[in-house]
Amino acid sequence: MAEYNTEQFEKDCKALGVTLSDEQIRQFLKYFEMLVEWNEVMNLTAITEYDEVMKKHFVDSISLCKAYDVTQNKTVIDVGTGAGFPGLALKIAFPNLQVTLLDSLNKRINFLNEVISALGLTGVETIHGRAEDYAKPGKCREKYDLCVSRAVANLSTLSEYCLPFVKVGGKFISYKSEKITEEMNTAQHAVKILGGKMDGQVEFTLPDSDIYRNLFIITKQKSTPAKYPRKAGLPSKEPLS
């Protein structure tokens, strides 16, 4: 593996209250190398420059710790994980988490499986499939303490995909990169229908940057009605309102 200057990355993590071991840093560097290598033959990310990946993918993923106690042994599902953000990065930084990575593209799942194997990670699984299918009873419905997603979709749509996975009493946290007051107001009714309650947001900039982030928190108060999520495509085309 090439030599990398990890000083800024370690400093950023410490600013979030996270101190990584030498082994964890090695795992993040290997993850970075595999991301860039695989990205040459398939579209995983538009961000490939070392410093940007460390900040905008890894530190950004880890920043969940500003809104959730990641030191507990919790079950987490990352819906629409893509190249593993935030779920796989969270697993490396917080090995105590039991993480499930869900994505609808099999080539992304193949990449994630290779990274998991190369890093020797345990307590992490991948699922190739759509959220609409795996949130059904008998699959992964209401199985997790926490659902996270960095997927780009409005909050009403994301809530319909994600809240069905969450146990009553658990949380869904959406990573946003903009202020979403209007979107939040629009989603209030949808969240309530799905059994959730808006529990606030944590706004901040990533360490040593002006990159705005917003972790939006929804608590699951009661079971999601069985008819949700609706069939493929509908949550995006016709968001609950």
Q: How would DSSP label each residue in 140-164?
A: TTT-EEEEEE---S-HHHHHHHHGG
DSSP β-bridge partners for residue 191: none
Question: Has 190 been labeled as part of a binding site?
Answer: no
> What CA–CA distance (Å, rounded) separates 59 from 56?
6
User: What is residue 217's predicted lDDT score, i.e. its pLDDT?
Assistant: 96
Whole-number Cα distances in Å, 67 to 32, 33, 194: 25, 29, 22
Minimum mean pLDDT range among 94-98, 117-121, 226-230: 226-230
Task: Return the pLDDT at 107.
Answer: 97
What's residue 138's pLDDT? 87
* Inter-residue contact 2 to 33 (CB < 8 Å): yes
Answer yes or no: is 132 a known binding residue. yes
**122: in domain:** yes
Predicted local confidence at residue 205, as pLDDT: 97
> Which one, of 19, 7, 145, lies nearest residue 77 by Cα?
145
Query: DSSP character for 65?
Result: G
H-type alpha helices, 6-105: 7-15, 22-39, 50-52, 60-62, 87-93
Does residue 2 lie within any of the structural domains? no
Higher pLDDT pick, 99 / 177: 99
For residue 1, give the 3-state DSSP assignment.
Answer: coil
Q: What residues form DSSP beta bridges with 127?
A: 102
**150 is known to lie in a ligand binding site:** yes
Work out the mean pLDDT of the chain and round it to a whole number: 95
On whether 85 is known to bind a ligand per the annotation, the reply is yes
In a domain, 145, yes or no: yes
Q: What is the mean pLDDT of residues 9-35?
A: 98
DSSP, collapsed to helix, strand or coil, labels residue 226 as coil
Q: How many residues appear in the chain?
A: 241
Rounded CA-CA distance 141/224 in Å is 9
- 135: burial class by Cβ within 10 Å (0-12, 13-18, 19+)? buried
In a domain, 1, yes or no: no
CATH number of the domain enclosing 193: 3.40.50.150
- Per-residue model confidence (pLDDT) at position 24: 98
Q: Which domain holds residue 203?
A: 7-237
Q: Match 């959220």 to its residue by tokens.
A: 131
Name the DSSP letter for residue 63: G
pLDDT of 241: 77
The answer as to whether 24 is a domain residue is yes
Per the structure, the count of domains in the chain is: 1
In this structure, the dihedral spanned by the alpha carbons of residues 116, 119, 120 and 121, taken in order and rounded to 10 degrees, is: -50
Tell me the pTM. 0.96
pLDDT at 14: 98
Residue 230 counted as an annotated binding residue: no
In a domain, 206, yes or no: yes
Amino acid letter, residue 170: G
Q: Give the mean pLDDT of 51-73.
A: 97
Classify residue 105: in a domain, yes or no. yes
